[in-house]
Amino acid sequence: MPINRDFLGRTFPPSDPYEISRVKIRDFADAIGDPSPVFRDVAAAQAAGYPDVIAPPTFPIVITAAAGNRAATDPELGVNYAMVVHGEQSFSYVRPMVAGDVVTAQTTITDIRDAGRNTLLTNTTEFRTLDGELVCTAHSTLVERGGAG
Amino acid sequence: MADQIRFADVETGAELPEASYPVTRLSLVKYCGASGDFNPIHWNERIAKAVGLPDVIAHGMFTMAETGRFVTDWAGPQGAVLELGVRFSSMVVVPDDDTGASVEVTGVVEEKLDGNRVRLTLTARSNGSKVLTRSRAVVRLP
Protein backbone atom coordinates (compact mmCIF):
# COMPACT_ATOMS: atom_id res chain seq x y z
CA MET A 1 0.00 0.00 0.00
CA PRO A 2 1.52 3.34 -0.98
CA ILE A 3 1.83 6.16 1.54
CA ASN A 4 -1.42 8.11 1.73
CA ARG A 5 -0.88 11.47 -0.01
CA ASP A 6 -3.89 12.92 1.79
CA PHE A 7 -1.57 13.35 4.78
CA LEU A 8 0.61 15.93 3.00
CA GLY A 9 0.45 19.15 5.03
CA ARG A 10 -1.34 17.55 7.95
CA THR A 11 -0.49 18.77 11.45
CA PHE A 12 -1.09 16.25 14.21
CA PRO A 13 -2.24 17.25 17.70
CA PRO A 14 0.57 18.03 20.17
CA SER A 15 1.94 15.15 22.26
CA ASP A 16 1.25 14.83 25.95
CA PRO A 17 3.60 17.07 27.97
CA TYR A 18 7.05 15.54 28.50
CA GLU A 19 9.06 16.57 31.56
CA ILE A 20 12.79 16.65 30.84
CA SER A 21 14.52 15.28 33.93
CA ARG A 22 18.13 15.39 35.10
CA VAL A 23 18.06 11.60 35.43
CA LYS A 24 16.93 11.06 31.83
CA ILE A 25 19.50 13.51 30.48
CA ARG A 26 22.27 11.69 32.38
CA ASP A 27 20.95 8.33 31.17
CA PHE A 28 21.02 9.57 27.57
CA ALA A 29 24.48 11.13 27.92
CA ASP A 30 25.76 7.83 29.38
CA ALA A 31 24.26 5.91 26.46
CA ILE A 32 26.02 8.07 23.88
CA GLY A 33 29.24 7.90 25.92
CA ASP A 34 29.43 11.65 26.50
CA PRO A 35 31.05 12.54 29.86
CA SER A 36 30.52 16.32 29.61
CA PRO A 37 29.65 17.85 33.01
CA VAL A 38 27.03 20.21 31.53
CA PHE A 39 24.80 17.13 31.00
CA ARG A 40 25.30 15.83 34.57
CA ASP A 41 26.39 18.41 37.08
CA VAL A 42 24.07 21.31 37.96
CA ALA A 43 26.94 23.44 39.29
CA ALA A 44 28.96 22.93 36.08
CA ALA A 45 25.93 23.78 33.95
CA GLN A 46 25.23 26.91 35.99
CA ALA A 47 28.88 27.96 35.76
CA ALA A 48 28.46 27.79 31.97
CA GLY A 49 25.42 30.07 32.19
CA TYR A 50 22.49 27.61 32.13
CA PRO A 51 19.72 27.41 34.74
CA ASP A 52 20.17 23.63 35.12
CA VAL A 53 21.81 20.71 33.28
CA ILE A 54 21.22 20.85 29.52
CA ALA A 55 20.38 18.01 27.14
CA PRO A 56 22.65 16.82 24.29
CA PRO A 57 21.56 18.12 20.86
CA THR A 58 19.99 14.84 19.69
CA PHE A 59 17.96 14.39 22.92
CA PRO A 60 14.59 15.42 21.33
CA ILE A 61 14.45 11.98 19.70
CA VAL A 62 13.69 10.65 23.21
CA ILE A 63 10.63 12.88 23.38
CA THR A 64 9.27 11.85 20.00
CA ALA A 65 9.86 8.17 20.88
CA ALA A 66 8.04 8.64 24.21
CA ALA A 67 5.14 10.14 22.26
CA GLY A 68 5.06 6.98 20.12
CA ASN A 69 6.18 8.77 16.93
CA ARG A 70 2.48 9.42 16.64
CA ALA A 71 2.47 11.05 13.22
CA ALA A 72 4.62 8.58 11.32
CA THR A 73 2.94 5.53 12.89
CA ASP A 74 -0.64 6.60 12.11
CA PRO A 75 -2.10 3.47 10.45
CA GLU A 76 -4.02 5.63 7.96
CA LEU A 77 -0.71 7.05 6.70
CA GLY A 78 0.25 3.57 5.56
CA VAL A 79 4.01 3.51 6.16
CA ASN A 80 5.47 0.00 5.95
CA TYR A 81 7.92 0.15 8.84
CA ALA A 82 9.76 -3.03 7.92
CA MET A 83 11.02 -1.16 4.84
CA VAL A 84 11.86 2.18 6.43
CA VAL A 85 15.33 3.64 6.90
CA HIS A 86 16.21 7.04 8.31
CA GLY A 87 17.26 9.37 5.49
CA GLU A 88 17.96 12.76 7.04
CA GLN A 89 17.63 14.42 10.42
CA SER A 90 18.27 17.91 11.69
CA PHE A 91 17.62 19.98 14.79
CA SER A 92 17.43 23.78 15.02
CA TYR A 93 17.57 25.30 18.47
CA VAL A 94 16.34 28.59 19.88
CA ARG A 95 18.01 27.58 23.14
CA PRO A 96 19.19 24.29 24.67
CA MET A 97 16.69 21.98 26.32
CA VAL A 98 17.15 22.25 30.09
CA ALA A 99 16.21 19.89 32.92
CA GLY A 100 12.84 20.98 34.26
CA ASP A 101 11.48 22.00 30.87
CA VAL A 102 8.06 20.52 30.15
CA VAL A 103 7.55 20.35 26.40
CA THR A 104 5.14 19.04 23.81
CA ALA A 105 6.06 17.77 20.36
CA GLN A 106 3.84 18.64 17.41
CA THR A 107 4.48 17.15 13.99
CA THR A 108 3.49 18.33 10.52
CA ILE A 109 4.00 16.20 7.40
CA THR A 110 5.69 18.59 5.00
CA ASP A 111 6.51 16.40 2.00
CA ILE A 112 5.65 13.02 0.51
CA ARG A 113 7.32 12.18 -2.77
CA ASP A 114 8.75 9.33 -4.78
CA ALA A 115 12.46 9.09 -5.54
CA GLY A 116 13.08 6.20 -7.89
CA ARG A 117 11.47 3.15 -6.31
CA ASN A 118 11.47 4.71 -2.85
CA THR A 119 9.05 7.08 -1.16
CA LEU A 120 10.38 9.93 0.98
CA LEU A 121 8.31 11.15 3.92
CA THR A 122 9.47 14.44 5.44
CA ASN A 123 8.10 15.93 8.61
CA THR A 124 8.75 18.84 10.92
CA THR A 125 8.32 18.61 14.68
CA GLU A 126 8.17 21.64 16.96
CA PHE A 127 9.08 21.30 20.62
CA ARG A 128 7.43 23.99 22.73
CA THR A 129 7.12 24.64 26.44
CA LEU A 130 3.64 24.70 27.94
CA ASP A 131 3.81 28.51 27.67
CA GLY A 132 4.20 28.13 23.92
CA GLU A 133 7.90 29.04 23.78
CA LEU A 134 9.54 27.38 20.78
CA VAL A 135 12.72 25.58 21.94
CA CYS A 136 13.62 23.30 19.04
CA THR A 137 12.46 22.39 15.54
CA ALA A 138 13.35 18.98 14.12
CA HIS A 139 13.21 17.96 10.46
CA SER A 140 13.19 14.28 9.59
CA THR A 141 13.09 12.37 6.31
CA LEU A 142 12.15 8.70 6.33
CA VAL A 143 12.77 6.52 3.28
CA GLU A 144 10.34 3.70 2.56
CA ARG A 145 12.33 1.34 0.34
CA GLY A 146 10.28 0.10 -2.59
CA GLY A 147 7.37 2.32 -1.52
CA ALA A 148 6.89 3.64 -5.06
CA GLY A 149 6.56 0.10 -6.43
CA MET B 1 35.88 22.40 33.38
CA ALA B 2 36.97 21.92 29.77
CA ASP B 3 38.75 24.73 27.98
CA GLN B 4 36.38 27.24 26.42
CA ILE B 5 37.03 28.15 22.80
CA ARG B 6 36.29 31.77 21.87
CA PHE B 7 34.77 33.09 18.65
CA ALA B 8 37.69 35.48 18.24
CA ASP B 9 40.14 32.55 18.26
CA VAL B 10 38.42 30.60 15.48
CA GLU B 11 39.78 30.76 11.93
CA THR B 12 37.87 29.87 8.77
CA GLY B 13 39.25 26.69 7.25
CA ALA B 14 40.63 25.38 10.53
CA GLU B 15 40.34 21.64 11.00
CA LEU B 16 38.85 20.34 14.22
CA PRO B 17 40.77 17.56 15.98
CA GLU B 18 39.59 14.17 14.66
CA ALA B 19 37.87 11.94 17.18
CA SER B 20 37.12 8.22 17.16
CA TYR B 21 34.14 6.89 19.11
CA PRO B 22 33.75 3.17 19.84
CA VAL B 23 30.44 1.40 19.13
CA THR B 24 29.89 -2.02 20.70
CA ARG B 25 26.83 -4.19 21.09
CA LEU B 26 26.64 -2.87 24.65
CA SER B 27 26.58 0.71 23.29
CA LEU B 28 23.57 -0.19 21.16
CA VAL B 29 21.71 -1.94 24.00
CA LYS B 30 22.24 1.13 26.18
CA TYR B 31 21.10 3.42 23.36
CA CYS B 32 17.97 1.30 22.83
CA GLY B 33 17.07 1.79 26.48
CA ALA B 34 17.92 5.48 26.66
CA SER B 35 16.28 6.47 23.37
CA GLY B 36 13.25 4.16 23.46
CA ASP B 37 14.11 2.79 19.98
CA PHE B 38 14.06 -1.00 20.39
CA ASN B 39 14.05 -1.91 16.69
CA PRO B 40 15.58 -5.43 16.79
CA ILE B 41 17.96 -4.74 13.88
CA HIS B 42 19.99 -2.83 16.50
CA TRP B 43 20.40 -5.77 18.91
CA ASN B 44 19.26 -9.03 17.32
CA GLU B 45 21.58 -10.56 14.72
CA ARG B 46 19.02 -13.19 13.66
CA ILE B 47 16.42 -10.55 12.78
CA ALA B 48 18.98 -8.19 11.23
CA LYS B 49 20.14 -10.92 8.85
CA ALA B 50 16.57 -12.01 8.12
CA VAL B 51 15.81 -8.53 6.71
CA GLY B 52 18.94 -8.57 4.55
CA LEU B 53 21.46 -6.72 6.71
CA PRO B 54 25.03 -8.02 7.06
CA ASP B 55 24.80 -7.96 10.86
CA VAL B 56 23.42 -5.81 13.67
CA ILE B 57 23.71 -2.11 12.73
CA ALA B 58 23.91 1.01 14.89
CA HIS B 59 20.95 3.35 15.19
CA GLY B 60 21.43 6.24 12.76
CA MET B 61 20.57 8.49 15.68
CA PHE B 62 23.42 6.96 17.69
CA THR B 63 25.85 7.92 14.94
CA MET B 64 24.31 11.39 14.81
CA ALA B 65 24.65 11.65 18.60
CA GLU B 66 28.39 10.95 18.30
CA THR B 67 28.60 13.76 15.74
CA GLY B 68 26.76 15.99 18.19
CA ARG B 69 29.25 14.99 20.86
CA PHE B 70 32.09 15.96 18.55
CA VAL B 71 30.51 19.41 18.10
CA THR B 72 29.71 20.04 21.76
CA ASP B 73 33.20 18.88 22.81
CA TRP B 74 34.73 21.41 20.44
CA ALA B 75 32.29 24.22 21.28
CA GLY B 76 32.93 23.84 25.01
CA PRO B 77 30.48 24.25 27.89
CA GLN B 78 29.48 27.81 26.90
CA GLY B 79 29.11 27.00 23.20
CA ALA B 80 25.49 26.62 22.09
CA VAL B 81 24.47 24.26 19.29
CA LEU B 82 21.99 26.18 17.12
CA GLU B 83 21.78 23.68 14.27
CA LEU B 84 22.85 20.09 13.77
CA GLY B 85 21.91 18.20 10.63
CA VAL B 86 22.96 14.98 8.91
CA ARG B 87 22.12 12.75 5.98
CA PHE B 88 22.47 9.03 6.64
CA SER B 89 24.40 7.48 3.77
CA SER B 90 25.68 4.13 4.99
CA MET B 91 25.28 1.70 7.87
CA VAL B 92 27.55 1.26 10.88
CA VAL B 93 27.83 -2.53 11.15
CA VAL B 94 28.60 -3.67 14.70
CA PRO B 95 30.08 -7.19 15.00
CA ASP B 96 29.58 -9.34 18.09
CA ASP B 97 33.16 -9.25 19.35
CA ASP B 98 35.13 -7.42 22.04
CA THR B 99 36.08 -4.52 19.74
CA GLY B 100 32.86 -3.69 17.93
CA ALA B 101 33.09 -0.82 15.44
CA SER B 102 34.08 2.81 15.60
CA VAL B 103 32.85 6.09 14.16
CA GLU B 104 35.55 8.58 13.14
CA VAL B 105 34.40 12.18 13.00
CA THR B 106 36.22 15.12 11.43
CA GLY B 107 35.19 18.71 10.99
CA VAL B 108 36.20 22.00 9.37
CA VAL B 109 35.29 25.59 10.20
CA GLU B 110 33.35 26.48 7.04
CA GLU B 111 32.36 30.04 7.80
CA LYS B 112 32.25 32.63 10.56
CA LEU B 113 28.83 34.30 10.76
CA ASP B 114 27.43 37.31 12.56
CA GLY B 115 26.28 36.97 16.15
CA ASN B 116 29.37 34.94 17.15
CA ARG B 117 28.09 32.01 15.11
CA VAL B 118 30.33 29.47 13.38
CA ARG B 119 29.29 27.04 10.65
CA LEU B 120 31.02 23.65 10.69
CA THR B 121 31.02 20.90 8.08
CA LEU B 122 31.42 17.41 9.47
CA THR B 123 32.17 13.94 8.17
CA ALA B 124 31.65 10.61 9.88
CA ARG B 125 33.22 7.37 8.67
CA SER B 126 33.04 3.79 9.83
CA ASN B 127 35.00 0.86 8.46
CA GLY B 128 36.20 3.02 5.54
CA SER B 129 32.76 4.24 4.42
CA LYS B 130 31.15 7.63 4.87
CA VAL B 131 28.20 6.96 7.16
CA LEU B 132 26.98 10.56 7.22
CA THR B 133 27.07 13.09 4.40
CA ARG B 134 26.00 16.73 4.20
CA SER B 135 26.60 16.93 7.94
CA ARG B 136 26.80 20.42 9.31
CA ALA B 137 26.38 22.36 12.50
CA VAL B 138 26.04 25.98 13.54
CA VAL B 139 27.24 26.89 17.02
CA ARG B 140 27.34 30.15 18.92
CA LEU B 141 30.55 30.76 20.83
CA PRO B 142 31.29 33.26 23.60
pLDDT tens readout for residues B101-138? 999 999 999 999 999 999 999 999 999 999 999 899 99
Domain at A90, CATH number: 3.10.129.10
**Which B residues 29-88 touch A at CB under 8 Å?**
30-31, 33-37, 51, 60-62, 64-66, 68-69, 71-73, 77-78, 80-88
Kindly give the parts of chain A with pLDDT less than 50. none
Q: What residues pair up with B88 in beta bridges, in sequence order?
A: B132
Q: What chain A residue is nearest to B136 in terms of C-alpha separation? A: A90
Asked whether residue A100 is assigned to any structural domain, the reply reads yes
User: Has residue A2 been placed in a domain?
Assistant: no
A13 is a domain residue: yes
Closest CA to B68 of A43, A61, A10: A61
* Number of independent structural domains in chain A: 1
Confidence class for position B1, pLDDT limits 50, 70, 90: very low
Is residue B72 classed exposed, middle or buried when 0-12, 13-18 and 19+ CB atoms within 10 A define those classes? buried
Q: Which residues pair with A107 in a beta bridge?
A: A125
* Chain B CB contacts of A36 below 8 Å: 2, 69, 72-73, 77
Q: Which of A31, A15, A21, A4 is nearest to A109 (CA)?
A: A4
Dihedral angle computed from the Cα positions of residues B26, B102, B131 and B92, in that order, rounded to the nearest 10 degrees: -40
Determine whether the interchain pair A58/B68 forms a contact, defined as Cβ–Cβ distance below 8 Å: yes
pTM attached to this predicted model: 0.95
* Partner-chain contact A95 B85, CB within 8 Å: no
Domain that holds residue A19: 7-144
Report the percent of chain B where pLDDT is more than 70: 99
Residue A149 counted as domain residue: no
Residues from chain A that touch B117, judged by Cβ atoms under 8 A, are: none
Each residue of A63-105: pLDDT tens digit? 998 877 777 778 888 888 777 888 999 999 999 999 999 999 9
3-state helix, strand, coil in chain A (%, to 5): 20, 35, 45
- Domains belonging to chain B, first-starting first, are 12-22+58-140 (3.10.129.10)
Count of alpha carbons within 13 angstroms of residue B91, beta-carbon side: 14
- Are B33 and A58 a contacting pair at CB < 8 A? no
